[in-house]
Structure 1
Amino acid sequence: MSLALSTKNAFPVSFPLPSAAGSIEAYVQAANRMPMLSEAEEVSLARRFRDEEDLEAARRLILSHMRLVIAIARGYLGYGLPHADLIQEGNIGLMKAVKRFDPERGVRLVSFAMHWIKAEIHEYILKNWRLVKIATTKAQRKLFFNLRSMKASFSTLGPEQVKEVARTLGVKPEEVVEMETRMSGGDIALEPTGEDEEERYAPIAYLAASETVEPSMQLERKEYDRLQDEGIKGALATLDDRSRTIIQRRWLVEDGEETATLHELAAEYGVSAERIRQIEAKAMQKMKGALAAAM
């Protein structure tokens, strides 16, 4: 199976790379079998790609560094996202790095690529991990991606540890405390979810109904929800069958069902995970246009 990337992401061709759509263990083994490059070989290949647009040279550079992507992606498993998806995003970062690599600077590709691989994985996590949707400032992002490892030996940061983390990362102590609270806090169900005696006293029991919610306002809300639901259905109707299925299985699953990963869908359709990603992005854009036109 090939991994294809558009010109926007990296290269306008398909590379015969190992696919993570099957067993992740088999993928890791295949990547680890790829030969390492000496510095001289790396410089020679990079020059061939830069000067002659030799795509075979680019392919060899990428294959020899895929184990680096796997190692970096493994460090982000604590965020609850599929390892295969993290590797896929890291591979995109690696390809971007190869495209921009300058062999004349005297820096090995491994050092240069680490930034691009991590940046791509960070962006993926920020878009998909629910708690991070509130980490919007530069300081919050820095804390989010460093606090977990920095506090590994402490159950809760004390005043001195808070000051040390703030000083190390160049942020305010109160920002450290706030992010620690966000990351360590668990979810609380609003309504009872089981037969447990304690769940009878879920937060919903303590929420008094607002006197301002008149029947007319409730009807207005129901009408809004209905129009919104119809809008999504209408937008889905503009898609072809494959795009519609991908969107539904990635974003519109029923409660209790798991969303499909890029690699699961890639295996089903017999294409690369990046191709599924491209179809998903194009479908989302088309749906946005349809929803905007319906407003």
Structure 2
Amino acid sequence: MVQKKFDKPTMQRLPVAQAATASAFPMLPTLGVGTLDSYIAYVNRVPMLSAAEELHLAQEFRRTENVDAAKTLVLSHLRLVVSVARQYLGYGIPHADLIQEGNIGLMKAVKRYDPNNGARLVSYAIHWIKAEIHEYILKNWRLVKTATTKAQRKLFFNLRSNKPTLSALTPSEVDALAKALDVKGSDVKEMEMRLAGGDIALEGDDSDDESAYAPIQWLADNTQEPTARIASAEADALQGPRLDQALMSLDERSRNIVQSRWLAMDAEGNGTKTLHDLAAEYGISAERVRQIETAALKKMRGLLEAQAA
């Protein structure tokens, strides 16, 4: 059989017998360093099938699993995928990735399509194309999964198009959207907040800007640094058993003076008693209290240093 060749970009519709052969369609070009524009230009040149051609190919594929028939059905609907994918560019996902996922949905639709139901393939395939694109967006739009239930998915893909303005929703607008989408008002508020937020790199960018401050620096726990932990353990030991032992080595008056001046603090961080308070308590001069305090602290310091050595 001699196949008809097409030299012009605009191809004529083929007879049913010829359309059933996938080779009647031009092969996808090998793009190498090609662009998305060249792919879109190609799929827009692929001829569309008539209802009779589509029915014949679909019946042949279901009856004989002819891969060429399925291929022809897929190629003739690639422009549909491009059109549907373009509707989801607002989510920040590359158009090429959306088209790729939509093509997977189209192939699934062709595999499951039953021409005896009376519906055209385009009506059946659009559901599968959108389903694959939706799933891909939800998996890749945010690091943290955004929508997990059916109601959340519906809200995710309809909130932007149903918002009356670009500003934050007012309480009345929240109630109206919740009623229109059949969800709770709290779900509308939460989804709006999550859509407005963005992912932030934990470690920031690779620039040499010294003023840059990455979120990882907010989460740093310096208390777990080895030298800090050793110092903390030493401080705990000094303020615990070692300090008690040093205090017990003092006589009762010296111990009471040290505790009143250094260990018992008021709300402002000062000792609860002054030198004059202690002088009046023991019937001695304030200078004598200071001398006792100095001698007691010197003795305690010597004992603590000896224990740490």
Q: One fold, TM greater than 0.5? A: yes
CA distance in 1, matches of 2:162, 2:88: 14
| Partner of residue 168, structure 2 | 156
Change (3 A) 1:186 1:92: closer
Offset at 1:164?
Answer: 2.0
Report the counterpart of residue 83 of structure 2 in structure 1: 71
> Are residue 34 (structure 1) and residue 46 (structure 2) matched?
yes
Name the structure, 1 or 2, with higher relative contact order (CA <8 Å, separation 6+).
1
Q: Which residue of 2 aligns with 1:60?
A: 72
State whether residues 131 and 183 of structure 1, in contact with CA within 8 Å, keep that contact through their aligned partners in structure 2: no
For residues 192 and 83 of structure 1, the distance between their equivalents in structure 2, rounded to whole angstroms, comes to 26
Q: How does 1:6-155 map to 2 (within 5 A)?
A: 16-17=27-28, 22-130=34-142, 133-151=145-163, 153-155=165-167
Provide the secondary structure at the position in 2 that maps to 1:134. coil
Instruction: Measure the CA separation in 2 of the matches of 1:215 and 1:139.
Output: 49
Unpaired segments of 5 or more residues in structure 1? Answer: 1-14, 219-295
Following superposition, the deviation at residue 185 of structure 1 comes to 2.2
Query: Could you say what the CA RMSD is over the residues aligned between the two structures, in angstroms?
Result: 3.2
- The share of aligned pairs that are identical, in percent, is 62
What is the correspondence of 1:217-236 to structure 2 with a 5 Å cutoff?
none
Question: In the superposition, relative to structure 1, how do residues 18 and 138 fare at CA in structure 2: closer, same or farther (>3 Å)?
Answer: farther
Structure 1 residue identity aligned to 2:85: A
Seen in structure 2, the aligned counterparts of structure 1 residues 101 and 18 have a Cα distance that, compared at 3 Å, is: farther
Task: Confirm or deny: 8 A CA contact 2:106 2:125 kept in the other structure.
Answer: yes
- Per-residue CA deviation, residues 50-99 of structure 1 (Å, 9 max, x unaligned), is 11222222111111110100011111122222211211111111010001
Cα distance change, pair 109–216 in 1 and its aligned pair in 2 (3 A): farther
Q: TM-score, normalised by structure 1?
A: 0.59
Q: Which structure 2 segments of 5+ residues have no match?
A: 1-24, 230-309
CA contact (8 A) 2:138 2:146 kept: no
In the alignment, residue 151 of structure 1 is paired with which amino acid?
K
Q: Structure 1, residues 155-204: CA drift from partner, whole Å, max 9, x if none?
A: 2222222122212222111001001001112456778877697x67x877
Q: Is the 8 A contact 1:147 1:180 kept in 2?
A: yes
| Matched AA of 1:76 | Y
Asked if the contact 1:28/1:67 (under 8 Å) is kept, the reply is: yes
The residue that corresponds to 1:177 in the other structure is 189
Query: In the superposition, relative to structure 1, how do residues 162 and 37 fare at CA in structure 2: closer, same or farther (>3 Å)?
Result: same
Relative to structure 1, the CA distance from residue 102 to residue 155 in structure 2 (aligned partners, 3 Å threshold; closer, same or farther) is: same
Q: 1:171 to 1:210 in 2, by over 3 A?
A: farther
From the CA coordinates, give the structure whose radius of gyration is larger: 2
1:19 deviation in Å? 6.3
Question: 1:120–1:189: structure 2 CA closer, same or farther, 3 Å change rule?
Answer: closer
Distance in 2 between the 1:192 and 1:81 partners? 21
Aligned-partner Cα distance in 2 for 1:105–1:182: 41
Pick closer, same or farther for the CA change 1:42–1:156 going to 2, 3 Å: same
